[in-house]
Structure 1
């Protein structure tokens, strides 16, 4: 606002475009990672981060910053963000939510350090020098990506403990035969081969006969697994998998709840420093509020992961509570933030409740759809999250310009967070209905 354009609405579009691009391109990032792997995806993201920030350091207009800092660097962030949301699920089988929580603390640590760091860089190097230095920091994503261990191609997805305990069956619709695959003796293997032979003969005998379908939930041998996987990849491309995911009602409702949460989250984070200055705080004091949020964020992300690792705690219900409490804090912030210390306290407690949701997204997606769909599904959720990040700051800026009352920003944020909590609760209702229909 001091160096490029003083209009709060125009400048809010720059930051919202960055995070909007980062999340709106989630489905594309998911497809890229599914096709090329996490290592190459993360390294490409680091390269785009450097390129976007480097060119932005020479820009003098809002439009050029939208294209460079907002779009190019946003694409780089999107590629790296999708890797963060998928890799813990592929690496860990036990305590997976806790692994997500520890991994997601990186974002909280960045928020904790980022406020004072950016304030220091802006003071000494101005906006364009800060862009250049931040691009160099983001380029280190290439180093982090190079250290990622590739997932075993023979078994790209590990099963959960509950899935490993389930018995795998082969169902033949025409004869209603059920073959138990949980045993590994020769008798069960021969029955599987007989069922498969009958299936192939039924298809070749006559086109008028009803088609027999066989579903393998786990292959009996490594070679057969590879062959079936290749056939599935050939017959069911990624866009059909994406279409199938959108047909799952609980997942669609959960995606909408994430969009509502991100609307409130974006309004909080983007407007907090300017709101603090509006209330009489200095720029350094305003930046320290982000540091307080970072401290609460790190605690929240780890705590949410550890709590969700307990089999007696439902991750969906945990998110319902966190989002509802964050909305309540946002409402109270409008009447209790007159002093600097109260602003620090509200910033800390808001992040303590809201930021843990970042940890829960990955485990909830895995519970809703299964691990093989997590790369594409996480990208879809990021798309809905991006809608919120893209629209939240401009909407609240318009509210402020039209009314002259900055507190409406946090009333809007609180309403979105509470509605997001309600939508998350509806996810469990959809899961119950789906389970009842399957039974």
Structure 2
């Protein structure tokens, strides 16, 4: 099928099975990654290491997941999303099982950080991209339901992991998690490719018959070059570049609060089961944020604004966290932080899809999650270093909050500038529509024009 041929999303049907598959994949990847923080104190005590060294485990699994996201996109496009998700399930399950035999932090860096993170990358990105292929009008709601698996999984797994650690030690808990994550193979089996229907099928056959002439080696290489240019043409869209810069700061802010929530609570004298309850509250409120923001944004044109507000509220929650010194005060934090975390996480693929279009969503998500890699890698160790140096968590949480707020400020400034430009253009009586600037949500037109220019040169 040619790249310029876009299949019509069915807006349902098997698409809801895709949503279920993505929901389960999100539980097995993002929820399990969050629950790795439950092992933080266990690893620190067993290997007798400081905060910054122990924090590398969580940062490696998160950063490897994002760093290898383009690889997940590449394999999803070249092989299939189904095969890629299944492969990721095998690798991540093997990484967790091997981690149960660890005898050093360095061993865990490779098995839990790199191998498991690689498996999560191969499963997570293609599963999310598949939802965008099956939905357009109800895209935000579909993503809200699919990504709520992160919150539901965190709500259920956090106390379960704590109990597993108490009854079977951290080694037994990792072994059981490895078996649980193997369910990614089942999720992958649900990822059926979207097939042409009716007129789409006839148009596809006509295009294939028109492209039957013999092609020599030189022209095949030229087609490969054009295909690469088509696949990554979205990188030249100004709005995508602005969004990418915002993602960098957002990614730095989101890891430390999750990694250090349990250690911070334990440092205040909170019981381990209560600390696990905070993670559960964080997770279940994320479910509400996923679905409510998805439902609301499907009925309006304020997806970027909703995403920006959610990030700003995350930043404010982080700023207030150092002033919360009891379990009673930490519960409202978990409620608010979890709610807005679920909101902006569900809107990341929606906002990205609005800019680049569903045709480029798999590749674009690979780039988007790749941008998360370095901040995810550095933020937990930097946060741990600040704790080691200052003896408290205030600087760590303040820095995370500032990153969230700056990320939202970038998008807010961009929206204000574009609003002013649009107002000036609309005030002109004889404005030529072809001269209008691209606004948020219409950048996929730029991709389409870029494709047409490329196709015309073939």
Tell me the equivalent position of 1:244: 233
Select the residue among 81, 88, 95 that pairs with 1:38: 81
Distance verdict in 2 for CA 1:228–1:340, change over 3 Å: farther
Cα deviation code 1:42-63 (max 9, x no counterpart): 1111101111112111111111
Q: Report deviation, 1:71.
A: 0.6
**From 311, 317, 327, the counterpart of 2:315:** 327
Partner of 2:273: 284
The aligned residue for residue 61 of structure 1 is: 104
Note the 1:251-266 alignment, pairs <5 A: 251-266=240-255
1:284, CA displacement in angstroms? 1.6
Structure 2's unaligned 5+ residue stretches are: 1-43, 213-219, 423-434, 440-458
Q: What is residue 313 of structure 1 aligned with on the other side?
A: 301
2:362 maps to which of 359, 375, 379: 375
**Distance of 2:347 and 2:211 partners within structure 1:** 29
- Report how far residue 256 of structure 1 moved: 2.0
What is the number of residues matched between the two proteins?
Answer: 376
1:253 Cα deviation after fit? 1.7
Partner of 1:411: 398
CA distance in 2, matches of 1:27, 1:403: 37
Select the structure of larger CA radius of gyration. 1
**1:339-380 superposed Cα distances (whole Å, 9 cap, x missing partner):** 211101111111111221111111111111111110010011
Are the equivalent residues in 2 in contact too, given 1:331–1:414 (CA < 8 A)?
yes
Q: Which whole-Å CA distance do the structure 1 matches of 2:63 and 2:101 have between them? A: 22
Deviation string 1:143-199 (CA, Å, 9 cap, x unpaired) is 1111222211x47xx9xxxxxxxxxxxxxxxxxxxxxxxxx9xxxxxxxxxxxxxxx
Contact 1:219 1:225 in 2 (8 A): no
**Contact 1:5/1:62, CA 8 A, preserved across alignment:** no
Change (3 A) 1:246 1:438: closer
Q: Is the contact between residue 105 and residue 302 of structure 1 (CA under 8 Å) also seen in structure 2? A: yes
Find the aligned partners of 1:248 and 1:227 in 2 and give their Cα distance.
33
Which digits, 9 at most, give the CA deviation of each residue in 1:229-273, with x for residues without a partner? Answer: 898993446643465332222112212212211211101100110
Aligned equivalent of 1:25: 68
Question: CA contact under 8 A between 2:127 and 2:191: conserved in structure 1?
Answer: no
Out of 300, 310, 321, the residue aligned to residue 289 of structure 2 is: 300
Report if aligned partners of 1:305, 1:359 keep a CA contact under 8 Å in 2: yes
**Residues 220 and 349 from structure 1, CA distance in 2 versus in 1: closer, same or farther, beyond 3 angstroms?**
same
What SS does the aligned partner of 1:151 have? coil
1:52 paired with 2:95, answer: yes
Report Cα offsets for 1:377-418 as digits up to 9, x if no partner: 001100112222211111111111122231111111110110
Counterpart for residue 394 of structure 1:
381
TM-score of the aligned structures, taking structure 1 as reference length: 0.80
Aligned-residue CA RMSD (Å): 2.6
Contact 1:249/1:430 (<8 A) preserved: no
- Is the 8 Å Cα contact of residues 319 and 424 (structure 1) preserved in structure 2? no
Q: What pairs up with 1:207-226 in 2 under 5 angstroms? A: 221-226=203-208
Looking at secondary structure, tell me which structure has more helix per residue: 2
Residue 163 of structure 1: aligned partner: none
Q: Is the alpha carbon distance of 1:261 and 1:370 closer, same or farther for their aligned partners in structure 2, counting shifts above 3 Å?
A: same
Assess if the C-alpha contact under 8 Å between 2:154 and 2:279 holds in 1.
Answer: yes
Q: Distance in 1 between matches of 2:287 and 2:76?
A: 26
The partner residue of 1:142 within 185, 209, 213 is: 185
CA distance in 2, matches of 1:104, 1:116: 20
Alpha-carbon distance in structure 2 between the residues aligned to 1:33 and 1:298: 27
1:426 Cα deviation (Å)?
4.4
Describe the SS at the equivalent of 1:221. Answer: helix
Give the alignment's TM-score, normalised by structure 2: 0.77
Counterparts of residues 335-350 of structure 1 (less than 5 Å): 335=323, 337-350=324-337
Q: What does 1:221-236 correspond to in 2, within 5 Å?
A: 221-226=203-208, 234-236=223-225
